[in-house]
Amino acid sequence: MIERMEGKVAFVTGGASGIGLATGLRLVHEGAVVVLADIAPERAEAAAEGSERLSAVKLDVTDEFAWEAAIDDVVRRYGKLDVLVNSAGIAPFTDIEACTTDEWRRTMTVNVDSVFFGCRNGVRAMKDRGGSIVNISSVSGLIGGPNSAAYNASKGAVRLLTKSVALHCARKRYGIRCNSVHPTFIETPMLENVLVGVRDRERTRAALVASVPLGRIGRAEEVAAMIAYLSSDESEFVTGAEFVIDGGMTAS
């Protein structure tokens, strides 16, 4: 077992599913103490059962005050916070004509306000000892798609918020790094939900696969491995950077 996360304390949002859950499990495997936070924490609670280093809490990432309380609680319980992974998100797929104002606002709140609250609280908790913040954006934060007006805007915002946080922390010499991760299609409940909504599921899935040069959908564990590197001291000289994990999709 690699133990590069030994002694570190991590807080992972969206921790009950997909990339967040896979990341929590990977960080625990590498030696960290991990708190999985989610608005629907049942699956995180089940994963944490019987583990001394994994626990689950309920957190609505759109709730500014709940964020403060959750991070304070981690520091109270474990004495510090070393790693924050902002993975909670939603992915509505509508074009600019179909996207309602409610959907736009909900997407920006869940995908962007959450990362803002997370980074603000993460910096507050980490600034005396340093740490690593990893924000999960998407290839949709790098390239546009006709059916993802709100999602594109939200993930683009996460990309640049990440750079601003990174540069602020560097200037202040806080020892806090902040990076964004940009996956393409990854096999998680989020992707399933997108496919449930389409008319010809198998055809759409085949089209998604065909758009990836490596010819397959990615796995949450593969994204978790990248996040684990960014969370660890091995990436000490890396900040404000975009980590693309997309089977070559954005290479052309």
Length in residues, the chain: 252
Alpha carbon 125 to chain centroid distance? 18
Whole-angstrom distance, CA of residue 232 vs CA of residue 10: 11
Alpha carbon 206 to chain centroid distance? 26
Q: Judged by CB, which is closer to ligand NAD: 132, or 188?
A: 188
Smallest gap, in angstroms, from Cβ of residue 155 to ligand NAD? 7
- Name the DSSP letter for residue 233: G
Count of Cβ atoms closer than 10 Å to residue 231 Cβ: 30
Tokens of 236: 């000490």
Smallest gap, in angstroms, from Cβ of residue 235 to ligand NAD? 19
Q: Judged by CB, which is closer to ligand NAD: 237, or 251?
A: 251
Please identify the residue of the shown chain whose CB is closest to the bound ligand NAD. Answer: 18
* E-assigned strand segments in 30-95: 33-38, 54-58, 83-86
Q: Are 246 and 229 in contact (CB under 8 A)?
A: no
Smallest gap, in angstroms, from Cβ of residue 6 to ligand NAD? 26
**Interface residues with ligand NAD (CB under 6 A)?**
13-14, 16-20, 38-40, 59-62, 87-91, 110, 136, 138, 183, 185-186, 188-191
For the annotated catalytic residues, the residue numbers are: 151
Q: Judged by CB, which is closer to ligand NAD: 33, or 93?
A: 93
Smallest gap, in angstroms, from Cβ of residue 183 to ligand NAD? 4
Tokens of 202: 């198998």
* Of 214, 242, 230, the residue nearest 23 (C-alpha): 230
Q: Judged by CB, which is closer to ligand NAD: 72, or 187?
A: 187
